Amino acid sequence: MIQAMQRLLIVSLALLAVAAPSFAQTTPAGQPQPPASYYPAPPPLQAPQVDKGVPLGGLTSPLSEEQKVSRTAIDSDAEAQLFGGTLKMAWGRYGKIKGAKPGDVTLTKQGGLWTLKGRLDSAAPGSEGDWVTIDGVVERIAAGNVTIRGEVAFRVAKVQRGTPCKVAGALHFRRSGKSQVWRLVEGDNPCDGTQELFDLVYEKPTEKRPVPGAKKG
């Protein structure tokens, strides 16, 4: 008898628990109540875990070991001979300003690999402190085309507060006709979109002529 009453009590409580939400959702007038602030469920006790970003330290260079150039491929001997005289670099952003000057380039050949490095510090009025640099290895020389794997950086005071803006990776320089200038194809500044018109320029080496009357040792 006692066990039967206990079972009856449990069933009654269960039915009351199921019916309670329906009673709570209506007003005495029969109008539905607005959902509670926790509807349809209360917030979790702990927020979901979020993966943290990768730290910025120890980032690898765009010049990875897989892309390392060990020897310059020469598809055109004539182009290689001409490009071998590259001694200057020009920066079109300030090229038309009176007082603009070219920068110097150092081209080194060692063990079949050509490397190139250069810097131009702008001397045009109003651009003092701005500069452009190039540093890389010559990957391939073909007719009218030179591919350099490396980096070109432009520093302009009014762009990104003077932070150098860089283009890196496989950089393509093209020359047309009888021109002795190779222009960077990827020469748009990545920070403001300006065409920098960055050029590598052939300059005929100056010949050292003997001084008249000088005695040979």
Average pLDDT value for residue range 109-119: 95
- What does the pLDDT look like over 147-180, one tens digit per residue? 999 999 999 999 999 999 999 999 999 999 999 9
Beta bridge partners of 136: 116, 150
* CA–CA distance, 116 with 202 (Å, rounded to integer): 13
Whether the predicted model's global pTM rises above the 0.75 cut: no
Q: Where residue 121 falls among pLDDT bands split at 50, 70, 90? A: very high
* CA–CA distance, 150 with 67 (Å, rounded to integer): 11
Mean per-residue pLDDT over the chain, rounded = 80
pLDDT of residue 131: 96
Pairing of strands 73-74, 181-184: unpaired
Average pLDDT value for residue range 97-114: 94
3-class DSSP string for 20-57: HHHHHCECCCCCECCCCCCCCCCCCCCCCCCCCCCCCC
> Tokens 């979901």 appear where?
48
* CA–CA distance, 217 with 208 (Å, rounded to integer): 16
Q: Where residue 203 falls among pLDDT bands split at 50, 70, 90? A: confident
Is residue 22's pLDDT more than 50? no
Is residue 143's pLDDT more than 80? yes
pLDDT of residue 31: 60
Contacts 24+ apart (CB under 8 A), 24-32: none
Is residue 34's pLDDT more than 50? yes
pLDDT of residue 24: 45
Beta bridge partners of 125: none
* CA–CA distance, 113 with 138 (Å, rounded to integer): 7
Q: Are 114 and 80 in contact (CB under 8 A)?
A: no
Nearest CA-CA partner of 183 in 193, 197, 171:
197
Question: What percent of the chain lies above the pLDDT cut of 70?
Answer: 64
Report CA-CA distances (Å) from 69 to 63, 72, 140: 9, 7, 10
